[in-house]
Structure 1
Amino acid sequence: MEKVYLLFTDTGTLFTRIIKLYTKRVYNHASIAFDSDFMEVYSFGRKYPNNPFIGGFVKEDLRNELFLRSRGAIYSFWATQEEIVRMKTIINAIEANHEKYKYNLTGLITYVFNKPLHRKYAYFCSQFVAHVLKEGANVDLPKPISLISPYDLQCLSHLQLEYEGPLYYLLRDQLDEFCH
């Protein structure tokens, strides 16, 4: 058994603040990671940190300015080696074909109206994480993946809170090592 990590963040960007107005939740972005130093963090979001209009599959760098000034909550759960292989296989297939995948802005709109919408090559962040968890680790979800929010993921019963606070403090020891 190995730990898998779910990261929930509040980046404070305009897009995040707009989503927060609707959700009334602290964290409105979800990612999945397979290592405790968070070098392998995957999600759907901005392809370029300073451009909110171009999105899709991303391997996130928590050491960039956007995340270093963000708050976050890290949760973990135990997964078998087989589940981890299946989850990574799903992510690797998406990464290998990343040019086909888009950010599911339409899905966010249908989410507001509680209408499930499956688009073959489009995800928003929590929809992507939910897909990986459901298909890779057989996680039971409370609703269709296209209606899963970051908060829904946070509420999964088998998650253990590992850290909550500024991401800079979570990563500062690694950053100190990197800079010296």
Structure 2
Amino acid sequence: MRLICLALLALAACDVAVSREPADPRASAIVARGRAIDGDTVSFDVRLHGADAYERKQLCATASGCWQCGKAAQDYASRLLKSGNATVRLTGSASYGRPVGTVEIGGRDLGEAMIAAGLAIPVTGYLKGRPEQARRYMAAYQAARAAKRGAHAGSFTEPAKWRRGERLACEAKPGRR
């Protein structure tokens, strides 16, 4: 009996030791441009995997005119991030020089929440190896569209097209129409 207890303790100690050190030390490393918030706090950008939100300066249109859907997307993401601890799982790919990953806050997928609010669109081409995530993102998109949430209350330019210079008529600068 004593030998069994010692063996179980030894196995438990090995398990703890193994869980403290990842098998591949690079698995826990993040390579990204960082910035200092203050002397002992840093921040870095992670692009959401499979979700493309409206850009900060992007406008969307309703019957009453343009509104700041990009700023609304930023504010919504900020509120969600402030609501709890975020878990970031990197996908191993990069976009616009930034790491890409999924972000969960309290078990809720940030990309899916942004899509459900009508403040992002799914990019399922990036989710080919994740059919369940692609299905959830498309279901969130269809629900937002049916309920006319966020940008679905009117018209919008897809974020990728907006980054390439495509604009709604109400976004045109005076004298350039």
TM (normalized to structure 2)? 0.27
Q: Whose strand proportion is higher, 1 or 2?
A: 1
- Rg larger in 1 or in 2? 2
